[in-house]
Every structure is written in structure tokens, then in C-alpha cells.
Amino acid sequence: MPKTAYMKMIDIWSIATILIPFFEVCIHTTLDVMRQRKMDAIAEKGLHLFTCVIDIFIIFFVGNITQVMQKWAGPNLGKNKVTKFDEEIEYCDKFMKIVKIFSKYVLPLLFIVFAFSFFIAGKIALES
């Protein structure tokens, strides 16, 4: 067999077919990490609410309830407050949606475009 220093079409095809599963593994890993971050944020939010309730009961039996309400609600008393946990959950949802779209549509489209251009390049190489 002759030794060649240039890249052949089979090398390009091999690299592409190895990269596709690699990207899929990266996507699934990213989705799992984001799912875990979302679950952690939900758990922290629940724990935060639980500690608020405990604090309210302790101060209710010991002190003044208005102190508790001002401590936890502050100037936003009676308004819906968006917490850092809600922001984290929303960020995870948006990021996971983008990654799922990439996984479902963009990656297969890229492979189809690659396969088609590879086929055309092979036809051109055979004709010349």
C-alpha cells in the first residue's frame, strides 16, 4: 500500500461518523446536568420555604408576627416575589429547550448536509 500524507475521503467520513455520537453524548450530558441543576434549585426553594415557615412559627410564639413578615417579605409584602431559585429554574428550562432543539433538528440537519456534500464531492472526484 502506498503511504500518503494527505487526507483521504474515508478519513473525513470516519472522523464525521465518530463526531456525531460524541456530540450526542455531550448533549445528553448537558441535559442531565441542567436537569440536576433544576432539581437542586427546586429542592433549595422548598428548603428555603420550609425554613421560612419554621422561622415564622418560632417568632410567632415568641415575638411579633409583623417582625416576621417584614423580615421575609420586606417592602414587597403582598406582592409576588421572583426568587433566585425561580430564576435558576427558568434559566434551566430555557437552556434545556435550546439544547433539545439543537439535538432534535440542528445536529441531524448538519449530518444530512455533510453527507450530501460528501456525496457531491465524491461524484466530482470520480469524474475528474
Q: How far is CA 44 from CA 41, 84, 90, 95, in A?
A: 5, 10, 14, 20
Q: Which amino acid, 120?
A: I
Domain assignment of residue 18, yes or no: no
Domain assignment of residue 45, yes or no: yes
Structural domain including 107 reads: 26-127
Q: What percent of the chain is predicted at pLDDT more than 90? A: 26
* pLDDT higher than threshold 70 for residue 45: yes
Q: What is the pLDDT of residues 76-126, one digit of tens each?
A: 544 555 577 778 888 888 888 998 999 899 999 999 999 999 999 988 988
What integer pLDDT is reported at residue 71 of this predicted model? 60
* pLDDT higher than threshold 80 for residue 75: no
Domain assignment of residue 11, yes or no: no
Domain assignment of residue 96, yes or no: yes
What integer pLDDT is reported at residue 51 of this predicted model? 66
Q: What is the pTM of this model?
A: 0.63
Number of domains in the chain: 1
Cα–Cα distance between 23 and 19 in angstroms, integer? Answer: 6
